[in-house]
Structure 1
Amino acid sequence: MAQPVLAQPVLTISRLAKRFGPVQALGEVDFTLEQGEIHALLGVNGAGKSTFIKILSGVYTKDEGTIEIDGRSVDFRSPRDAIAHGVAAVQQHPELVGDLTGYENIFLGMEGERRGFWSRIDRASMRRRADALLARFPVEIDLSRRVASLSVVEREIVAILQALSRENIRVLILDEPTSTLTEVEKDVLFRLMAHLRASGISIIYITHRLEEVMEIVDRLTVFRGGRRITTMSVEAARAEGVTLAELMLGETLDHVYPPRREDAGAGEVVFSVEGLRLPGVLDNIRFDVRRGEIVGVFGLVGSGLDELSKVLFGAVGPAEGRMRLGGREIAPRTPREALANGIFLVPGDRRTEGLTLSQASVFNMTLANLGKASGLAGLLRRGRNRRASAELAEKVTLHPPLLDRAVSDFSGGNQQKIVVAKGLFAGADLYIFVEPTVGVDIGARSRLYGLMRDLAESAAVIVMSSDCDEVHGLSDRTFALYKGRQIGQPSADITRGRLLAAGIMGSLH
């Protein structure tokens, strides 16, 4: 239920603008945030959301416009400035130190009661302050455990408590906090968000999971092309029957998934797996992928989905069993051997496994095929690589299409597009997509799905995901993994309900 609001908004932004060279990232954006509300910020990748929150959290400086906190004009030159004025952000991938405990992470940089050179680490004080935080924002978590041992939602909670460790915080920015959470973990986070709202903290909530908007949000604002398109309450959106996806896109979205093949399973076998075993993880996996089709594998956390993808890519193993690609028996022992054999993996964790974040887009897109990217004496073909990267950026709808920009500066959805572009440049015979649309907006999802369908015409394509709707909607034939066991053979006839049951309970019935 929406909270009563005060006459004076906590945050008022007027005519905010930001430009990166020739690209107008934000243009004259107006925005208000009331006390004790959860306000969703929606838009496709490249709509301006990331630039907006980076200005608001002090990472970028604005070119034009005004920012007011409680009616007083402020100017942020750094994240420290933003925090000093009561604005804190939790990024999509919180930077926590795995070897430190939860409370040590919360007070990182504030380990002692006193500040300055002679300040000492006072763990007893940190524990007391952590207990005081938990008294303000009650949540079940053991902050004495190392962060590396915590679940995904527990790490998210640590990051939120870290942001709220300064008592002056009035505005909390949450960027895609549920992108990697299960439904149970999402409920834990939503209960915390509701408590924060009740305590008077205002939340700006960025998400691509549109079903969550109607569940937890009070108001929503839609960005498109660097401009604010509309702001409305959730009640008004419901009453008017607003389709959020179409509002974000500015066009009707008739078909998210491309049409399936009518003759699924009839083409020649391009890739096959027989009796694949990884002791304690995978048992007797056997399936094939035929030209022109997409084979989907559904599985939850702990199903062996991630391990299967890495066995096929030579990153985990050795495994027992046989693999054949294009009529050849293969046994890749490393990712390098897998690439040499024509296998490309779009990993589930793009930041640590798919990208070199400090390097530019053009570097990342051409990294997986250095033979193609370089010429005599191993020198990079910079002009040719740049032209190829520009074409790939257009194909995957990278926005803004800045080839020299560090990948770390792009939104999560755009980072995913760069990984896909990297795979296209590699020119593989087998593409394995793991959680391919995490953090990707609905419009970009549709385009990526179309791209996968196009790839299937000339290569084998496997999609592995914990999103049952995605696997069932996109794939020609599907099966599930449950605790390392394959449930059923790839089938075009399995219903969504049976596929879901197979992945959750280990049975098709």
Structure 2
Amino acid sequence: MTGIEKRFGPVTALDGVDFTLEAGQIHALLGVNGAGKSTLVKILSGVYTADAGEILLDGAPVALGSPRAAMAAGVAAVQQHPELVPDLSGVENIFLGHEGRRPGLFARIDRTAMQAAAERLLARFPVEIDLDRPVGEMPAVDREIVAVLHALRAEHTRILILDEPTSTLTEREKASLFAMMRALRAAGIAIVYITHRLEEVFEVADSFTVFRGGRNVASFTAAEAEARGVSIPELMLAEKAGELFPPRDGRPEGEAPVLAAENLGLAGCFSGGSFALRRGEILGIFGLVGSGVDELSKALFGALRHDEGRLLVKGRERRFSGPHEALRAGVFLVPGDRRTEGLTLTEDVVFNTTVANLGRASALGLLRFGRNRREAARLARETGLHPPALDRPASAFSGGNQQKIVIAKGLFRDADVYIFTEPTVGVDIGARAKIYGLMRALSRRAGVIVVSSDCDEVHGLADRTLALYKGRPVTAAPNRDGLLAAGIMGRAA
């Protein structure tokens, strides 16, 4: 790709970008949210058309003016949130829209041919997966593999784009996906790999390119970058990378808990949850996928109803019948799945910022449009939303900026307790530092809980920590099957 340019109105998304990809190579594409990575791969996959520049495959110019044209040229993409049909099997999802028909008066789906084609795919790219299982019952890594196989169903696919494929995977699941990526590389397929987890670059990628401000600012092989001691964060941010986690302020003394749980439990999810949260501190709750941490965060917010123990908010026992009661009591949740649980994707920034506090956003039953817009603009600046386009729908923003809109909604609510679940999934290092700083500033006037499967995040950010393993809190960290990092409870001690 040479001299690629793309503008959206007055915004220049790509400014004369060059990008080279070799066969049988895993090439990581890096940059902060809004740097131009997604725009480039959407041009490569035919979703967007470049305003200027040229795309060459095997040295010959090609026009990839639509996803169909890109797929015909051998380019396939797996988006960050693959659209799969949960009630259909893995085989049915792989060939969705390409099922094939049996000949005859009444055309029927040729399931025998689909099964045979799926077996040929697994012979080409060996991976342990039950494709007869409904996708909705599969673990996250198997759903990601189904999406990859869907992209590879055409035998002429030669370029595969993977957008944040490990954002919701555990370490064990990530290893399974990396093994498949290496198998694809060995088969001669070139992979464009977008990630915000910079430690993965040297684990799986052969080379990487860094984008900043719509331009390609650096390209290295992984070996060359390691030998030269290249700092990827500094390339991404154009400045020395500072401390990722803000300094702690010191734990509050003598403050009454703003939220407390006493042996809190929910059948089949978690039990024995006991902790106290005070203004002026961040409580970290660590647990892997399936450990019960997500259900715990939703029980604290009333999205799930606990059936054991007591929950106290500002000294008063509460049993929320729904999130509306939790909001009125001063508890706000920034959910782990911002797209389905945190945002109305079709609405703009102003709507999403103010929707959780209509009492503040309205007067005498009428919305305060001017005031709400000013407040949304202020919170956009405070959270570092980029671009600060208040009329743009939430769906048009990158994942990191969508997370900032959810946080802005929480700030507009002005709660006493903030619960952040997986707050930096799919968020670049610059935005992560900004979000961590916001959480620390927020903790000075409210109690903050961060629920995360990222051990480093919990340990680096929290004043005190709690860990859940198979739904039970643990006070020590046995390294069973690598599921808990040694010393996770060291901060509490």
| TM-score between the two structures when normalised by the length of structure 1 | 0.91
Deviations 1:379-430 (A, max 9, x none): 3222222222122122221222222222222222221111111111111111
Contact 1:102/1:147, CA 8 A, preserved across alignment: yes
Report the Cα offset of residue 270 of structure 1.
Answer: 1.8
Deviations 1:88-142 (A, max 9, x none): 1000110000000101001111111589x98531111111111111111111111
Q: Which amino acid aligns with 1:95?
A: E
Q: Does residue 376 in structure 1 map to residue 361 in structure 2? A: no
Q: Does residue 323 in structure 1 map to residue 311 in structure 2? A: yes
Contact 1:16/1:66, CA 8 A, preserved across alignment: yes
Report the Cα offset of residue 262 of structure 1.
Answer: 2.8
Counterpart for residue 340 of structure 2: 352
Q: Hey, what's the Cα distance between the residues in 1 that align with 2:107 and 2:348?
A: 40
Counterpart for residue 391 of structure 1: 378
Counterpart for residue 454 of structure 2: 467
Number of positions where the alignment pairs a residue of Structure 1 with one of Structure 2: 486
Where structure 1 has 5 or more consecutive residues not aligned to the other structure, the ranges are 1-12, 490-496
Q: Does residue 77 in structure 1 map to residue 65 in structure 2? A: yes
Cα separation, partners in 2 of 1:20 and 1:463, compared to 1, 3 Å? same
Q: Does residue 428 in structure 1 map to residue 448 in structure 2? A: no
Counterpart for residue 123 of structure 1: 111
Q: Does residue 417 in structure 1 map to residue 401 in structure 2? A: no
Secondary structure of 2:35's counterpart equals: coil
Contact 2:465/2:488, CA 8 A, preserved across alignment: no
Q: Hey, what's the Cα distance between the residues in 2 that align with 1:119 and 1:165?
A: 22
Q: Hey, what's the Cα distance between the residues in 1 that align with 2:483 and 2:131?
A: 39
Contact 2:208/2:219, CA 8 A, preserved across alignment: yes
Q: Which amino acid aligns with 2:469?
A: Y
Contact 1:38/1:204, CA 8 A, preserved across alignment: yes
Counterpart for residue 135 of structure 2: 147
Contact 1:265/1:293, CA 8 A, preserved across alignment: no
Contact 2:305/2:319, CA 8 A, preserved across alignment: no
Counterpart for residue 108 of structure 1: 96
Counterpart for residue 451 of structure 1: 438
| TM-score between the two structures when normalised by the length of structure 2 | 0.94
Q: Hey, what's the Cα distance between the residues in 2 that align with 1:268 and 1:361?
A: 36
Cα separation, partners in 2 of 1:498 and 1:213, compared to 1, 3 Å? closer
Report the Cα offset of residue 84 of structure 1.
Answer: 1.2
Q: Hey, what's the Cα distance between the residues in 2 that align with 1:189 and 1:421?
A: 34
Q: Does residue 210 in structure 1 map to residue 198 in structure 2? A: yes
Contact 1:173/1:203, CA 8 A, preserved across alignment: yes
Secondary structure of 1:302's counterpart equals: coil
Secondary structure of 1:46's counterpart equals: coil
Q: Does residue 298 in structure 1 map to residue 298 in structure 2? A: no
Contact 2:288/2:483, CA 8 A, preserved across alignment: no
Cα separation, partners in 2 of 1:332 and 1:282, compared to 1, 3 Å? same
Q: Does residue 238 in structure 1 map to residue 223 in structure 2? A: no
Secondary structure of 1:33's counterpart equals: coil
Q: Hey, what's the Cα distance between the residues in 2 that align with 1:265 and 1:447?
A: 27
Cα separation, partners in 2 of 1:118 and 1:316, compared to 1, 3 Å? same
Matches within 5 A, 1:55-74: 55-74=43-62
Secondary structure of 2:18's counterpart equals: strand
Deviations 1:446-496 (A, max 9, x none): 11000001111111100111111111100111121122222239xxxxxxx
Cα separation, partners in 2 of 1:34 and 1:499, compared to 1, 3 Å? closer
Cα separation, partners in 2 of 1:119 and 1:36, compared to 1, 3 Å? farther
Contact 2:380/2:408, CA 8 A, preserved across alignment: yes
Task: Provide the alpha-carbon RMSD of the alignment.
Answer: 2.2
Q: Which amino acid aligns with 2:239?
A: E
Cα separation, partners in 2 of 1:119 and 1:414, compared to 1, 3 Å? farther
Q: Hey, what's the Cα distance between the residues in 1 that align with 2:106 and 2:408?
A: 50
Where structure 2 has 5 or more consecutive residues not aligned to the other structure, the ranges are 477-481
